[in-house]
Amino acid sequence: MSREEKLKVLKSKLSLNNYQKLSAISNPKIIDYITKAVILCEPESIFICDDSSQDLAYIREMALKTGEEKPLNIPGHTYHFDGPKDQARDRKVTKFLVPKDDYLPPSLNQIEREEGLREITEFLRGSMRDKTMIVRFLTLGSADSEFTILCMECTDSWYVAHSVSLLYRPGYKAFTQTNGEEEFFYTLHSAGRLSQDMVSIDVEKKRIYIDYTQNTVYSVNTQYGGNSIGFKKLALRLAIRKAHREGWLAEHFMIIGVNNGSEKIYLAGAFPSGCGKTSTAMLPGESILADDLAYLRNIGGRARAVNVECGIFGIIQNVNPQDDPLIYKVLTSPGEIIFSNILVSNGEPYWIGMGKELPSHGINYSGNWYIGKVDEEGNPVPPSHKNARYTVALKALENCDENLDNRKGVELGGIIFGGRDYQGYVPVQEGFDWVHGIISYGASLETETTFAVLEEGKFEINIMSIQDFISIPLGEYLKNYIKFGKDLKKVPKVFGVNYFLKDLHSEEFLNGKLDKHVWVKWMAKRVNKELKAIKTPTGLIPKYEDLKILFREVLNKDYPLSDYNKQFMIRVPENLAKIKRVRKFYEDLEGIPYEVFKVLAEQETRLIEAEESFGNYINPDCFKEEVL
């Protein structure tokens, strides 16, 4: 079918204005994608967004007019509900489409490509009847730079179309300038049949399939942002493959700018959902550059990074004025914000852990809600979902970093890996070098799955906090990671943090919620070579004297030696057990680089030797070697 024939197919569903906007794009692949989507999904009409203020306002208006969003009392605030069974990423129905002659590790959820295409095609067929297909053109990463990846999404959800206005940089102009040679990512999404409450009905037919051979994401019968906004974790899977081919890194990273005297030190960090990533990125007095996704490239021998996005799709539970004052201020001030799956009462949003008493009744994702309400299985229905979210542009935050849109990105001084480790690792430590840190803290990252995935409450290895999204063999991913660091002239330091360490004899957490700010300041000073550290079997830890000063400077509180000894005690049995679990995980996989087993073996030997000298539980003062 020629370009003219395809445009003729589309013309009957386009107003004159929308036809002119689409005609301005000469790239044949774009017209082809849209034509195929229209023939398959059969929308009544097509809306082409050109990123003008009028078009963006129209999308917001339609989200309200259709009822996918509803207004709240504060100007600019709206709310959206997903269905009771559509509240998080769904691992079981998120699959890679794998050709018969290709291979992905069995740990990655997958289906044979042709079989998967037949299934998803049937679910998408006619899914947009009586609805409008909205076409959004966007960019991932800073616009017009070597980091940029062009992307487009066709969706029938005004809520999704509105969300991407806040989360991604506009790309229509860039698409009008493409010539057909550029690589871009494409998403086709349909919420499917909707109830009177504008909620997806056929959730049992929910499917999220990633066709990496065509850089395409298919999503149907779901509205939850993590399943329907194609350029979050779904496109991350595509970016990982592209990064592997080209020798850079696409990562599940936040990036924070830490003020250190007259300098700013940029630290990236990988944390599984619900493990402290956003609260670290939002520390008061520092600046946030990214809260979720980042691309890293070797530019001039230095690791430079950009935020893939320009907004936050953040977990709102426990956001309160004491622990998260900057976010809380934005969430309670006029401005463009979408709340999802919270409790609404008298036009006000409420959520668990917001720091004030919740009303006894209201509406939420389950319908009319009241204290004591239970679901079909007799389980209590919480006032707001644990994975309730807010969507907001980063520039709405007063601490948004000035380099958010820097085409060259920012130079990383360090990378942080942190999960939920109740018994093992100390609150903060530094790797001996790039390979040790990447393997001991990143490739060995162990955590408890949280409410951001449907299978909550299980402990698992979560490599670099990217386990769910790795779209190449794990061994190849780790080899690329190790090589990336080895090829740098100036290598970022690698840190491991653990905000969830508990007392050996109780369930008491040893870290205060605000202590992370001290750990971050210590890391920045280590990057800047201002402080010495103590060498232990698992890494370099802070000196008590330095932390005592930092606790006073940062939090204006005393830091007793007894707290230091509890927090930075090396727990040999727990660390040896961790090594055993990590080794077993990798022994069952093919193609794992030898460095993984070498680093684990060396760490095991150091721990055993320390145990022979000092016992099972070793106070930090037993270790005498200090390094800069």
Tens digits of per-residue pLDDT, 20-44?
Answer: 999 999 888 999 999 999 999 999 9
Cβ neighbors of 312 (< 8 A, separation 6 or more) are 167, 278, 291, 292, 390, 391, 392, 394
Tens digits of per-residue pLDDT, 122-173?
Answer: 999 999 999 999 999 999 998 889 999 999 999 999 999 999 999 999 999 9
CB-based contact 469:252 (threshold 8 Å)? yes
Among all residues, which ones are annotated catalytic? 275
Does 454 score more than 60 pLDDT?
A: no
Tens digits of per-residue pLDDT, 80-101?
Answer: 999 998 988 888 899 999 999 8
pTM: 0.92
Position 449 scores a pLDDT of: 56
Tens digits of per-residue pLDDT, 113-129?
Answer: 999 999 999 999 999 99
Which residue has tokens 């730079």? 145
d(CA 14, CA 6): 12
Can you tell me the mean pLDDT for 447-454?
54
Handedness of CA 29, 31, 36, 40 (dihedral sign): positive
In eight-state DSSP terms, residue 322 is T
d(CA 287, CA 309): 16
Does 71 score more than 80 pLDDT?
A: yes
Average pLDDT, the chain: 93
Position 234 scores a pLDDT of: 85
Phi, psi dihedral angles at 468 (to 5 degrees): -70, -15
Strands, E assignment, 308-409: 311-315, 337-340, 343-345, 348-350, 361-364, 367-370, 389-393
**Element housing 65 (H / E):** helix 53-65
d(CA 221, CA 83): 11
Tens digits of per-residue pLDDT, 261-294?
Answer: 889 999 999 998 768 887 899 898 999 999 999 9
pLDDT tier at 458, thresholds 50, 70, 90 = low
pLDDT tier at 628, thresholds 50, 70, 90 = very high
**Element housing 583 (H / E):** helix 572-587
Of the candidate ranges 209-218, 402-411, 458-467, 566-575, the one whose mean pLDDT is the lowest: 458-467
Position 354 scores a pLDDT of: 96
Position 165 scores a pLDDT of: 97
Position 522 scores a pLDDT of: 98
Does 392 score more than 70 pLDDT?
A: yes
Position 205 scores a pLDDT of: 95
CB-based contact 542:590 (threshold 8 Å)? no
Can you tell me the mean pLDDT for 305-324?
92
Residues of the chain with pLDDT > 70, as a percent, come to 98
Tens digits of per-residue pLDDT, 552-573?
Answer: 999 999 999 999 999 999 999 9
Does 453 score more than 70 pLDDT?
A: no
CB-based contact 473:463 (threshold 8 Å)? no
Position 215 scores a pLDDT of: 94
Position 448 scores a pLDDT of: 67
Of the candidate ranges 143-147, 252-256, 605-609, the one whose mean pLDDT is the lowest: 143-147
Cα Dmax for the chain: 81
d(CA 480, CA 302): 16
Token pair belonging to 213:
């051979």
In eight-state DSSP terms, residue 359 is P
Position 1 scores a pLDDT of: 74
- Inter-residue long-range contacts of 243-248, CB under 8 Å, 24+ positions, other chains counted: 243/295, 243/480, 244/472, 244/476, 244/477, 244/480, 247/298, 247/480, 247/483, 247/484, 247/487, 248/295, 248/296, 248/297, 248/298, 248/484
Position 456 scores a pLDDT of: 47
Can you tell me the mean pLDDT for 312-320?
91
Can you tell me the mean pLDDT for 367-380?
93
d(CA 134, CA 66): 14
Domains of the chain: 3-68+85-231 (3.40.449.10), 250-305+406-627 (3.90.228.20), 313-396 (2.170.8.10)
* 3-state SS assignment for residue 446: strand
Position 452 scores a pLDDT of: 46
List the one residue out of 394, 332, 383 whose CA is nearest residue 357: 383
